[in-house]
Amino acid sequence: MNGAAMDDLSMQVNLSCPTCGCTEFKFEILEQEQDYPDDWPFTCAHCGRTFTYAELIESNQESISVAVDEMGDELVSALSKELGRAFKKQGWDVR
């Protein structure tokens, strides 16, 4: 995400099975732009254990928190660059 424009900021966090660490799951895909309900089942493609969406999120909370922190840093950097460009267009001396 380095050097990303403000509208390009997005991040994907791969959830892993808390039992075996696999990051591939079998699940029914929802219609576009729908969020998975907390009780939606996900089955690990490796060990076959089934988890709810809420359980997967909870067990991967550390990875999610790290990604959110990194995205926050990227957001601040991108916002700073956008503001600098906007001020320079208005003739301001930005350092």
CA distance linking residue 50 with residue 17, whole number of Å: 9
Reported pTM: 0.64
Q: Where are the domains of the chain?
A: 18-26+36-89
**pLDDT tens for residues 33-55?**
788 999 999 999 999 999 999 99
Between 11 and 28, name the one with better pLDDT: 28
pLDDT at 7: 59
Average pLDDT for the chain: 86
**Those residues with Cβ within 8 angstroms of residue 32's Cβ, 6 or more apart along the chain or in another chain:** none
pLDDT at 57: 96
pLDDT at 9: 63
Q: Which residues pair with 52 in a beta bridge?
A: 41
